């Protein structure tokens, strides 16, 4: 038991684990092409375009005729050798608000920026409030009233008189 405990504290075990993990992640970091005659790229592009005549569906998810048209247009442009961005821009120029990814420039980019700022601010505030609290030192000393409460409770417990373990701490 003690040996095992010591083993878990050895740094080289943990380093070994880390090394294996990094090697595994590095070895599998590239993506492999999927086999078969599937249309993964087509649908990956289609998933970023809103189906303009449907409600709340993407061109990839809809079975509406317009979605089928869009998909055949994407497929046509893919065969012409156009890149994903070129194809997406093609649709963005023709239909307003058709891209499901909000823009990274202009007013629309706020949707990306605001969460980062808010979360960073919240985290900073939290760290700061923790630091202030801790520098204030330990909580107030227990009053004699508190101590007598503790004593009564301990005495009750020793005499086995306590029947229910839940305490209501209502400060009414």
Partner 1 sequence: MNRALGLTGLILALGGSLLAIAVILTGLKRSRPDLMRMGRAYSFVVLLGAALSVFAMQRAFIQRDYTLKYVAEHGSSTTPALFNVASMWSALEGSILLWGLILAGYLVVVAHKFRKRLDDSLVAWALITMFSVCVFFFGLMLTAANPFQGNLPLPGFDGPGPNPLLQNHILMAFHPPMLYLGYVGFTVPFAFAIAALVTGRVGEGWLVETRRWTLFAWGFLTAGIILGAWWSYEVLGWGGYWGWDPVENASLLPWLTGTAYLHSVMVQERRGMLRVWNLSLLCATFSLTILGTFLTRSGVVASVHAFSAGSVGPILLGFFALVVAVSVGLIGWRGDRLRSVGHIDSPLSREGAFLANNVVFAAFAFVVLLGTVFPLVIEATTGDTLSVGPPYFSRMTMPIGLTLLLLMAVAPVLPWRKASGELLRERLWWPAWTALGAVLVAVMLGATGVAPLLAFGLGGFAAGSALRQIALATKRLGWRGFVGRTNGGMVVHLGVIMIGVALAASMSFMSQGEFTLKEGETARVAGHTLQYLNSSTLDKPNRVELLARIKVDGQSVYAPKLNRYRQSGQTIPTPSVKASLRDDIMMSITTAPTESDPSLGLRVVVQPMVTWLWIGGLIMVIGTILSLFPGRRRNPLDAVSAAAPIEKITA
Backbone phi, psi, residue 81, to 5°: 85, 20
Site for partner 1 in 132-161 (CB under 8 A): 133-134, 136, 138-139, 141-142, 147, 150-151, 153-154, 157
Beta bridge partners of 49: 99
Phi, psi of 99 (to 5 degrees): -80, 135
Residue of 1, 2, 3, 5 interacting with partner 1 (CB under 8 A):
5
Report in angstroms how near the CB of residue 117 gets to partner 1 at its nearest.
11
Build a one-symbol-per-residue string for 9-48: x at contacts with partner 1 by CB under 8 A, - elsewhere: x----x--x--xx--xx-xxxxxx-xxxxxxx-xx---xx
**Size of residue set near partner 1 by CB under 8 A:** 80
Burial of 51 by CB count in 10 Å (0-12 exposed, 13-18 middle, 19+ buried)? buried
Q: Which of residues 41-100 bind partner 1 (CB under 8 A)?
A: 42-43, 47-48, 50, 55-58, 60-63, 68, 71, 96-100
Q: Which of these, 107, 124, 128, lies nearest to 116 by C-alpha position?
A: 124
Answer for which of 79, 107, 143, 145 binds partner 1 (CB under 8 A) is 107
Least distance CB 87 / partner 1 (angstroms): 15
CB 42 within 8 A of CB 74: yes
Residues 6 or more apart from 66 whose CB is under 8 A from it?
51, 52, 53, 54
The site string for partner 1 over 112-131 (x = CB under 8 A, - otherwise) reads: x-xx--xx--xx--x---x-
> Are 74 and 60 spatial neighbours (Cβ–Cβ below 8 Å)?
no
Question: Which residue number, 66 or 153, has a Cβ lying nearer to partner 1?
Answer: 153
């Amino acid at each position: 038991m003690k040996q095992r405990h010591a083993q878990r504290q050895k740094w080289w075990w943990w380093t070994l684990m880390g090394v294996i993990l990094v090697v595994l992640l590095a070895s599998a970091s590239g993506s492999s092409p999927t086999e078969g005659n599937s249309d993964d790229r087509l649908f990956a592009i289609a998933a970023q375009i809103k189906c303009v005549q449907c409600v709340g569906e993407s061109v990839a998810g809809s079975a509406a005729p317009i979605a089928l048209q869009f998909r055949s247009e994407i497929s046509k442009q893919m065969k012409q050798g156009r890149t994903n961005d070129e194809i997406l821009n093609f649709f963005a120029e023709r239909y307003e608000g058709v891209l499901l990814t909000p823009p990274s420039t202009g007013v629309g980019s706020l949707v990306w920026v605001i969460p980062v700022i808010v979360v960073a601010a919240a985290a900073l505030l939290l760290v700061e409030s923790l630091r202030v609290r801790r520098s204030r030192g330990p909580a107030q000393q227990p009053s004699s009233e508190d101590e007598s409460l503790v004593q009564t409770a301990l005495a009750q417990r020793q005499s086995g008189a306590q029947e229910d373990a839940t305490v209501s701490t209502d400060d009414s």
